[in-house]
Amino acid sequence: MLNKKTLKDFDFKGKKTLVRVDFNVPMSKEEEGKIADDVRIRAALPTIEYLVNQGAKVILMSHMGRPKGEANPKFNLAPIAQRLSELLGKEVKFLDSPVVVDDGVRSGVEALQDGDVALLQNTRYRKEEEKNDPEFSKELAALGEIYVNDAFGTSHRAHASNVGVSTLLPSAVGYLVQKELDVMGKALADPERPFVSILGGAKVSDKIGVIQNLLEKVDTILVGGGMAYTFLKAQGKEIGRSLLEEDKIELATELMKRAEEKGVKLLLPVDAVIADEIAADAVTEIVDIDSIPAEKQALDIGPKTAEIFTEAIVGAKTVVWNGPMGVFEVKPFSQGTFAIAEALAKVDGVTIVGGGDSALAVEIAGYSDKLTHVSTGGGASLEFLEGKVLPGVDAIENA
């Protein structure tokens, strides 16, 4: 399905192979330099290990966080080089430079032996990275002979270390990008039915494209999270102080109409967990969706909704989930999201979680292994589900 060159299209033996990976991992807020979650590092291992076994000289590059074009030590990749060494069981040479590429880095690359692995410093230490600057792209490309994009999480961006470099070297996608695109691509193009999608999160405006695209493909859409209240308001319901995007009410009405025309079931919450405020010790109450008091906020789906959504999910053959059902970061409002994670784990079919908060919820709940695919890219998977072309993939040579 994917018409791009892959790792199988090249002979990597002795070749300096520049690999863009997504090591944009969350760091611990309590302890500086401690990695909070290494899922993204582990997701890059199949490509790195393959290249090592092929005898490539592997030069990895990634960004982490938002250092805003400066060598900010908070975003130093040194701890990542160390974790990667542990995971690979071999030394990763950290080619540290405040400007990412300099003479020291160039000689470090020249000293690499076949099968060695090196990591450059955070590409966002250079402001040119996010501008897809041609000069910075050239500096990076000059380090390698072949380029591999395995950073799915940044593929929706056109930056120097992905799009810029791929225009200057022979290029391929890595295993992670290939897997992400294959699994999600198949679900969208040729899903086993029933096909159910669950959408949540804060804003309708962030998900318009996804809803529009999925409405043409799915049998059922379950809408939860803060975005559900704009739909409920459009139905004339009193939503109290729940999240509302006034300027999207009309659009919500249109989307519900479109669903009806297409024969797509669009289900909204029938009950909610309400409170005065978002706080761990907030006093909560469960109410029917018609009974939200004017001064309260609805902050999670209620148990009846969780049951109805679960029933729709467990009977599905393809499920795509993006966005939490409530303010799941705060305990009293987390149950709805975890109920959905649990429902997905019970599905006898293809289950896909589109990164970001829902991926985190699945990970916390311990269900990641029970699902077909948990995407490593929140923004990238969202754009893919919208049907958009991802520039970081588009820039790779056609097969």
Give ∠ CA 10-11-17 in degrees, rounded to 5.
Answer: 80
Set 40, 126, 233, 296: catalytic member: 40
- Report CA dihedral (223, 225, 227, 232) to the nearest 10 degrees: 70
C-alpha–C-alpha distance, residues 259 and 142, integer Å? 51
Between strands 271-275 and 297-301, the pairing is antiparallel
Please state the closest distance from residue 256 (CB atom) to ligand AMP, in A. Answer: 19
CA 357 to chain centre: 9
**Is position 292 an interface residue for ligand AMP (rule: CB under 6 A)?**
no
* 143 beta partners: none
Q: Which stretch binds ligand AMP (CB under 6 A): 10-18, 101-109, 140-148, 198-206?
A: 198-206
Please state the closest distance from residue 307 (CB atom) to ligand AMP, in A. Answer: 18
Site for ligand AMP in 238-257 (CB under 6 A): 243
- Two structure tokens written together for 10: 């090249």
Among 144, 153, 164, 201, binds ligand AMP (CB under 6 A): 201
Among 153, 191, 225, 349, binds ligand AMP (CB under 6 A): 225
Set 14, 65, 379, 387: catalytic member: 379
Measured from the CB atom, the residue of 175 and 321 that comes closer to ligand AMP is: 321
| DSSP track, 207-241 | HHHHHHHHHTT-SEEEE-STTHHHHHHHTT---TT
203 is a catalytic site residue: yes
Q: Is the Cβ–Cβ distance between 390 and 384 less than 8 Å?
A: yes
Please state the closest distance from residue 87 (CB atom) to ligand AMP, in A. Answer: 29
C-alpha–C-alpha distance, residues 160 and 4, integer Å? 20
C-alpha–C-alpha distance, residues 88 and 91, integer Å? 8
Set 90, 138, 186, 203: catalytic member: 203
Site for ligand AMP in 320-359 (CB under 6 A): 323-324, 326-327, 329, 356-357
Please state the closest distance from residue 29 (CB atom) to ligand AMP, in A. Answer: 16
Site for ligand AMP in 85-144 (CB under 6 A): none
Measured from the CB atom, the residue of 72 and 310 that comes closer to ligand AMP is: 310
CA 132 to chain centre: 21
Beta-carbon-side half-sphere exposure of residue 123 (alpha carbons within 13 Å): 32
Measured from the CB atom, the residue of 206 and 397 that comes closer to ligand AMP is: 206
Number of residues lying near ligand AMP (CB under 6 A): 16
CB contact set of 257 (below 8 Å; sequence gap of 6+):
none
Cis peptide leading into residue 194 (ω within 30°):
yes
Please state the closest distance from residue 206 (CB atom) to ligand AMP, in A. Answer: 5
Please state the closest distance from residue 393 (CB atom) to ligand AMP, in A. Answer: 23
Among 298, 345, 374, 380, binds ligand AMP (CB under 6 A): 298
Nearest by Cα to 130 from 155, 161, 156, 159 = 159
Q: Which stretch binds ligand AMP (CB under 6 A): 108-116, 144-152, 196-204, 387-395?
A: 196-204
Among 183, 202, 287, 314, binds ligand AMP (CB under 6 A): 202
Site pattern 205..224 for ligand AMP (x: CB under 6 A): -x------------------
Please state the closest distance from residue 224 (CB atom) to ligand AMP, in A. Answer: 7
Site for ligand AMP in 357-376 (CB under 6 A): 357
Measured from the CB atom, the residue of 67 and 356 that comes closer to ligand AMP is: 356
DSSP H stretches of helix in 72-157: 78-88, 103-110, 134-141
74 is a catalytic site residue: no
Measured from the CB atom, the residue of 277 and 394 that comes closer to ligand AMP is: 277
User: Could you give the 3-state DSSP secondary structure of residue 63?
Assistant: coil
CB-neighbour burial class of residue 204 (10 A; exposed 0-12, middle 13-18, buried 19+): buried
Site for ligand AMP in 11-40 (CB under 6 A): none
Among 93, 203, 265, 388, binds ligand AMP (CB under 6 A): 203
40 is a catalytic site residue: yes
- Which DSSP symbol is given to 34? -
241 is a catalytic site residue: no
38: left (phi over 0), alpha (psi -120 to 50) or beta: alpha
Active-site positions read 40, 203, 356, 379
Per CB under 6 A, residues contacting ligand AMP are 201-203, 206, 225-226, 243, 298-299, 323-324, 326-327, 329, 356-357
